[in-house]
């Protein structure tokens, strides 16, 4: 069996190219249906985008509205309509998981979304179901505890769980929990009290009464074991709203508004849904307020509800065009977020629940066409009208478009602002709200609202000024500034500057109040004024931090200075990173702790260079501490401050902060800058103390590190100028100018220092002797007797008594150093004897050498007939040859060639020249003989073959290595 449900239907929420504001708020669209069987609809239900249709034949259709062209299920009741009656009502839970079917013969069936076979509810047999309250937790596996309202006024609690067992009932239990005395139960609603899982709210409606219950429900050992609502109805009394003179047969129902999907109101009200109770007199509507305190909940719900009378609905016109005298009955009613939709004799009438205005009155049904009623999908916010043959969807477009107007008219300005969408709407709300608040004297509130409006700036500002409301003016300016675009530079700057003036005036007023211990008003004492001062100061700080880009520095400085606001002045300068101004301010007032606090936060080297001189003069220790934590300072630029500090301070070198920082640069930062080192030497040398150990230690450290990062000439001049003898001597020594070092030491009678230089000087003996002679001369000139000079002589090995005699005075008697002279003569005598002995030995050696030479003249060598040349391997006797005492024999030409290879460049070149001269015969006679003798001498001077070939390998590159393989 095929069905077509596609023509003329738009899926809910489908987009439109047209602006929503230009579309009608309500649009009733006919959903075209084509069935292959001729049957009428007898009941319908919609939930979670699932449509359930019951046909007069007893067939049930399940259609997914997300893809309406297909029928998901086509289900028949287990019995014929003649046996159980025609389907009367369908009850579908919000999740579309559970369906309860009731017939005209009070037969009830249950169908689960996973099943295709409805099961009879035997315990509910004979119960004419008028309404059902589904479990608020919306379970899907079972219904859990639900309430069923019957036509006889009974309310039953039932727990339905699908079962695949044939003999097992679907209902776990069924229990009557309440009974009304004024007709059928036309409506039921249950929800959970927030934060209290054991608390429920139950609403029951009949044609003439509305009952609100709230309280605790019972609990059992396990879920589904028994009734939970019995305790609620037994222990709690209902808050009741009753009606009199109820028309018999008039429609009655209880509906709740759909779940709110999106709302601009982000507060607790989002969760508070609406209820509507349809009666013969009209519709009672209100909010289902939520509260954990249930004692007054029913009273509040009914106390703030209102009745929209039936007379609000205009009467329809008869065939002659005149309005009918009698009112047509309301057949059905549903709620949207803002409207009450009612079906009245084929017309759909929509009334805005805020102001009771009729916004839609449209005839939909043809005369004689029977309507099943209006149905709302509370999950998906869709609205439907069903007849016995057709389906209509009521499409709402921007339902809340006019809400802001109504809220504004009712002076609900906050809500109006939240629902206003366009800029013009928001501006209208803000302007009206501000005027209203000013009229009530609520200037601070008006200032915030005016700041978001386009009401002329001058009017608003003058209003607050005329009223003397400076606080409101400040708030208005702040709000207005926050709304201005970044491109409005001049406007923003003017507002921001005005705000600085307003802040300063307010702070001064509060300060004056505190100073005089006066009260601003009856409700504010001095302590409260102090608290307000802190609040305003913090507000000012937040303002300048946020809008520093909108403020001109010079102007702000002038304003705050004119008001004498030191703290605010410095805070602004700090926020805009004008640390030069802050430092200059504190330095000018000689407030050194504050100056250092600001300096600690700086990383700009120029700030340190600028203020180093004055700070070194006043807080040198703290300044150096701060500078030592910086990593980007150029110490060279701090030198003027250090020299100025050194000239004016009288502290010792150990406490000198300039020395401390310079040593830090040298030792920690490994500075090699000559200016740094020269400055340190200058401070060391010029210090009043006579102790030059610190300077000398520095100089020695440079020498030990094999460095000289200072200017030696500059250091020498300073040391000489300030008579730093030891340091001068050290510098001379490091420059290898030992004579000058010794002369300088002797000039200042530093004999030991001069002796140290002479001892450690690594020079030739002549220079060392010269140095010692200078020292000896000084020693002799200073000594009162010969004994001192003699002791000095014994310390030095280079000097003799005869070296010192010229330095003694002419009147010195020889007897005073007779012993030393005798010792010296004895030494000379010993040395003469040693020289004679060496001469005798040399003469004897020379005689032996002569004897050996004569013996060599008689020496010969025997050459065997088969002897071969050691170079070429040919017979030795074939041509001229050489024989050596070591028995090596060579042809003369082979030996010459070999000698050339092994000899040096000069000797090889000379041998080649002599060979050429002899072989070409360019020389004759004695000259040729001389050349031959020289050649023989060069070639055959000695057998160097064994020595020269000792490092040659046994196997050469030309040898066959395989022959030598092991």
3-state SS class at 289: coil
Query: Which residue matches tokens 């008869």?
Result: 318
Residue 255 exposed, middle or buried by CB count within 10 Å (0-12, 13-18, 19+) = buried
Q: What is the pLDDT of residues 747-784, one digit of tens each?
A: 776 666 766 666 666 666 656 666 666 666 666 566 64
Question: Which of 196, 314, 303, 148 has its CA nearest to residue 239?
Answer: 303
3-state helix, strand, coil in the chain (%, to 5): 45, 20, 35
Report which of residues 435 and 10 the model is more confident about. 435
* pLDDT the model gives residue 1: 36
3-state SS class at 116: coil
Give the angle 606-609-615 at the CA atoms, nearest 5°: 130
What's phi and psi for 225, nearest 5 deg? -85, -15
Q: Is the pLDDT of residue 482 over 50?
A: yes
Pair 133, 144: CB distance under 8 Å: no
**Residues 6+ positions from 915 with CB-CB distance below 8 Å:** 896, 935
* pLDDT the model gives residue 348: 93
617 DSSP β-pair partners: none
Enumerate helices (H) and strands (E) in the chain, giving the number of each: 33, 32
- Check the CA dihedral 205-211-213-218 and report its sign: negative
Report which of residues 786 and 337 the model is more confident about. 337
Q: Is the pLDDT of residue 848 over 70?
A: yes
Q: What is the DSSP code (8-state) at residue 366?
A: P
Spell out the alpha helix ranges (H) of 213-372.
229-235, 297-303
**Residues 6+ positions from 412 with CB-CB distance below 8 Å:** none
* pLDDT the model gives residue 158: 95
User: Which of 10-19, 853-862, 874-883 has the lowest average pLDDT?
Assistant: 10-19
Report which of residues 78 and 801 the model is more confident about. 78
- Computed over every residue of the chain, the mean pLDDT equals 80
Q: Is the pLDDT of residue 816 over 70?
A: no
User: Which of 178-182, 267-271, 816-820, 900-904 has the lowest average pLDDT?
Assistant: 267-271
- Band (pLDDT 50/70/90 cuts) for residue 821 is low
Q: How far apart are the first and last CA of the chain?
A: 104
What's phi and psi for 351, nearest 5 deg? -115, 130
Q: Is the pLDDT of residue 804 over 50?
A: yes
Pair 200, 190: CB distance under 8 Å: yes
Pair 350, 340: CB distance under 8 Å: yes
Question: Which of 395, 394, 390, 369 has its CA nearest to residue 34?
Answer: 390
- The neighbour count for residue 603, using CB atoms within 10 Å, is 11
Q: Is the pLDDT of residue 38 over 50?
A: yes
Encoded tokens for 447: 């200032």
Three state DSSP letters for 738-776: HHHHHHHHHHCCCHHHHHHHHHHCCCCHHHHHHHHHHHH
C-alpha count within 13 angstroms, C-beta hemisphere, residue 94:
19
C-alpha count within 13 angstroms, C-beta hemisphere, residue 457:
11
- Band (pLDDT 50/70/90 cuts) for residue 43 is very high
* pLDDT the model gives residue 940: 66
Q: How far apart (Å, rounded) are the C-alpha atoms in residues 695 and 709? A: 14
Task: Tell me the angle at which helices 470-483 and 489-516 cross, rounded to the nearest 10 degrees.
Answer: 150
* pLDDT the model gives residue 71: 66
Dihedral over alpha carbons 30, 34, 40, 44 (to 10 degrees): -60
Q: What Cα–Cα distance (Å) separates residue 394 from each residue in 91, 461, 476, 884?
A: 21, 49, 46, 136
341 DSSP β-pair partners: 334, 350
**Residues 6+ positions from 290 with CB-CB distance below 8 Å:** 193, 194, 268, 271, 272
Strand 382-387 relative to strand 371-377, pairing:
antiparallel
Pair 683, 659: CB distance under 8 Å: yes
Buried b (16+ CB within 10 A) or exposed e, 914-942: bbebeeeeeeeeeeeeebeebbbebbbee
Q: Is the pLDDT of residue 307 over 80?
A: yes
* pLDDT the model gives residue 922: 64
* pLDDT the model gives residue 17: 35
Question: Which of 644, 583, 636 has its CA nearest to residue 613?
Answer: 644
Q: Is the pLDDT of residue 647 over 80?
A: yes
3-state SS class at 322: coil
* pLDDT the model gives residue 941: 65
Encoded tokens for 839: 């001469």
Average pLDDT over residues 825-845: 79
- Band (pLDDT 50/70/90 cuts) for residue 7 is very low
* pLDDT the model gives residue 152: 93
Residue 268 exposed, middle or buried by CB count within 10 Å (0-12, 13-18, 19+) = exposed
Report which of residues 773 and 883 the model is more confident about. 883
- The neighbour count for residue 635, using CB atoms within 10 Å, is 19
Q: What is the pLDDT of residues 370-429, one digit of tens each?
A: 899 999 999 999 999 999 888 999 998 888 888 888 888 877 777 787 888 888 888 887
C-alpha count within 13 angstroms, C-beta hemisphere, residue 267:
5
Percent of the residues in the chain that have a pLDDT greater than 90, as a whole number: 21
Average pLDDT over residues 41-50: 92
What's phi and psi for 279, nearest 5 deg? -130, 175
Percent of the residues in the chain that have a pLDDT greater than 70, as a whole number: 80
Average pLDDT over residues 326-345: 88
- The neighbour count for residue 891, using CB atoms within 10 Å, is 23
Q: Is the pLDDT of residue 125 over 50?
A: yes
* pLDDT the model gives residue 320: 52
Q: Is the pLDDT of residue 193 over 90?
A: no
Encoded tokens for 710: 């200072």
Average pLDDT over residues 557-569: 87
Q: Where are the domains of the chain?
A: 128-247, 402-467, 484-578, 758-836, 876-964
3-state SS class at 789: helix
What's phi and psi for 64, nearest 5 deg? -85, 115
* pLDDT the model gives residue 157: 95
- The neighbour count for residue 42, using CB atoms within 10 Å, is 22
* pLDDT the model gives residue 2: 39
* pLDDT the model gives residue 755: 66
* pLDDT the model gives residue 575: 86
Q: What is the pLDDT of residues 693-719, one digit of tens each?
A: 888 888 878 877 777 888 888 888 888
Q: Is the pLDDT of residue 206 over 70?
A: yes
User: What is the edge-to-edge ordering of all strands in the sheet holding 98-103?
Assistant: 87-92, 98-103, 108-112, 119-120
- Band (pLDDT 50/70/90 cuts) for residue 682 is confident
Q: How far apart (Å, rounded) are the C-alpha atoms in residues 380 and 96? A: 12
pTM reported for the whole predicted model: 0.57
Average pLDDT over residues 422-444: 82
């Amino acid at each position: 069996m095929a069905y077509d449900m596609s023509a003329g239907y738009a899926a809910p929420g489908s987009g439109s190219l047209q602006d929503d504001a230009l579309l009608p708020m309500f649009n009733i669209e006919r959903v075209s249906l084509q069935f292959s069987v001729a049957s009428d609809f007898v009941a319908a239900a919609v939930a979670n985008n699932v449509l359930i249709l019951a046909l007069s034949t007893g067939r049930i259709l399940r259609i997914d509205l997300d893809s309406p062209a297909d029928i998901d299920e086509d289900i028949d009741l287990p019995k014929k309509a003649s046996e159980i009656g025609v389907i009367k009502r369908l009850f579908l839970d919000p999740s579309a998981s559970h369906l309860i079917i009731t017939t005209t013969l009070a037969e009830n069936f249950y169908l689960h979304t996973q099943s295709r076979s409805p099961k009879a509810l035997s315990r509910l047999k004979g119960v004419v179901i008028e309404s059902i309250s589904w479990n608020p937790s919306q379970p899907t596996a079972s219904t859990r505890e639900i309430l069923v309202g019957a036509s006889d006024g009974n309310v039953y609690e039932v727990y339905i769980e699908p079962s695949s067992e044939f003999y097992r009932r679907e209902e776990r239990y069924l229990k009557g929990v309440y009974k009304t005395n004024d007709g059928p139960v036309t409506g039921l609603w249950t929800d959970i009290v927030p934060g209290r899982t054991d608390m429920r709210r139950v609403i029951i409606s009949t044609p003439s009464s509305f009952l609100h219950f709230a309280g605790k429900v019972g609990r059992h050992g396990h879920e589904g074991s028994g009734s939970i609502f019995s305790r609620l109805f037994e222990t709690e009394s209902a808050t009741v709203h009753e009606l009199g003179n109820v028309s018999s047969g008039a429609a009655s129902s209880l509906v709740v508004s759909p779940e709110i999907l999106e709302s601009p109101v982000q507060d607790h009200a989002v969760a508070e849904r609406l209820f509507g109770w349809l009666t013969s007199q009209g519709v009672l509507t209100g909010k289902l307020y939520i509260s954990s305190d249930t004692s007054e909940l029913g009273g509040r719900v009914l106390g703030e509800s209102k009745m929209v009378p039936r007379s609000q609905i205009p009467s329809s016109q008869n065939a002659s065009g005149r309005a009918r005298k009698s009112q047509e009955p309301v057949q059905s009613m549903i709620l949207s977020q803002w409207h009450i939709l009612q079906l009245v004799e084929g017309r759909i009438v929509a009334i805005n629940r805020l102001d009771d205005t009729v916004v839609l009155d449209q005839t939909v049904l043809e005369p004689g066409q029977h309507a099943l009623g209006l149905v709302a999908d509370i999950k998906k916010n869709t609205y439907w009208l069903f007849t016995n043959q057709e389906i209509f969807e009521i499409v709402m477009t921007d339902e809340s478009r006019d809400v802001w107007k109504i809220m504004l008219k009712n002076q609900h300005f906050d809500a109006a602002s939240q629902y206003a969408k366009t800029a013009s709407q928001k501006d209208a709300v803000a302007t009206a709200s501000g005027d209203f608040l000013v009229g009530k004297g609520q200037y601070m509130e008006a200032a915030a609202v005016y700041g978001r409006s386009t009401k002329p700036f001058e009017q608003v500002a003058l209003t607050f000024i005329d009223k003397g409301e400076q606080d409101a003016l400040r708030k208005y300016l702040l709000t207005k500034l926050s709304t201005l675009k970044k491109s409005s530079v001049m406007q923003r700057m003017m507002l921001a500057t005005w705000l600085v003036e307003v802040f300063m005036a307010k702070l001064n007023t509060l300060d004056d109040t505190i100073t005089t211990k006066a009260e601003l008003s009856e409700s504010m004492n001095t302590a409260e004024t102090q608290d307000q001062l802190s609040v305003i100061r913090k507000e000012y700080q937040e303002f300048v931090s946020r809008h520093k880009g909108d403020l001109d520095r010079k102007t702000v400085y002038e304003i705050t200075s004119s008001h004498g606001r030191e703290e605010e002045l410095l805070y602004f300068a700090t926020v805009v990173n004008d640390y030069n101004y802050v430092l200059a301010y504190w330095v000018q007032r000689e407030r050194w702790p504050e100056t250092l606090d600001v300096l600690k936060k700086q990383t700009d080297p120029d700030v340190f260079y600028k203020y180093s001189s004055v700070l070194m003069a006043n807080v040198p220790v703290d300044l150096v501490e701060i500078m030592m934590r910086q990593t980007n300072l150029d110490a060279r630029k701090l030198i003027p401050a250090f020299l100025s500090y050194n000239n004016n301070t009288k502290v010792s070198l150990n406490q000198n902060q300039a020395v401390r920082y310079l040593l830090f640069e040298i030792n920690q930062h490994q500075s090699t800058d000559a200016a740094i080192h020269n400055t340190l030497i200058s401070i060391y040398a010029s210090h009043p103390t006579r102790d030059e150990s610190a300077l000398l230690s520095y100089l020695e450290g440079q020498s030990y590190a094999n460095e000289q990062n200072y200017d030696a000439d500059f250091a020498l001049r300073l040391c000489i100028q300030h008579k730093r003898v030891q340091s001068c001597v050290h510098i001379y020594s490091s420059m290898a100018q030992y004579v000058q070092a010794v002369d300088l030491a002797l000039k200042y009678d530093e004999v030991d220092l001069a002796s140290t230089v002479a001892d450690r000087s690594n020079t030739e003996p002549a220079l060392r002797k010269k140095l010692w002679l200078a020292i000896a001369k000084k020693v002799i000139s200073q000594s009162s007797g010969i004994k001192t000079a003699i002791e000095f002589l014994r310390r030095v090995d280079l000097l003799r008594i005869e070296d010192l005699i010229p330095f003694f005075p002419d009147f010195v008697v020889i007897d005073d150093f007779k012993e030393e002279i005798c010792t010296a003569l004895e030494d000379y005598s010993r040395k003469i004897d040693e020289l004679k002995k060496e001469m005798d030995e040399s003469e004897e050696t020379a005689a032996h050498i002569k004897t050996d030479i004569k013996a060599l003249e008689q020496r010969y060598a025997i050459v065997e007939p088969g002897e071969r040349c050691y170079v070429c391997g040919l017979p030795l006797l074939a041509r001229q040859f050489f024989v050596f005492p070591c028995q090596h024999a060579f042809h003369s030409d082979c030996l010459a060639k070999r000698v050339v290879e092994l000899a040096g460049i000069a000797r090889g070149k000379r041998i080649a020249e002599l060979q050429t001269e002899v072989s070409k015969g360019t020389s004759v006679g004695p000259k040729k003989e001389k050349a031959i003798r020289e050649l023989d001498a060069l070639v055959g001077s000695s057998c160097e073959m064994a020595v020269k070939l000792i490092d040659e390998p046994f196997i050469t590159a030309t040898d066959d290595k395989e022959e030598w393989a092991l």
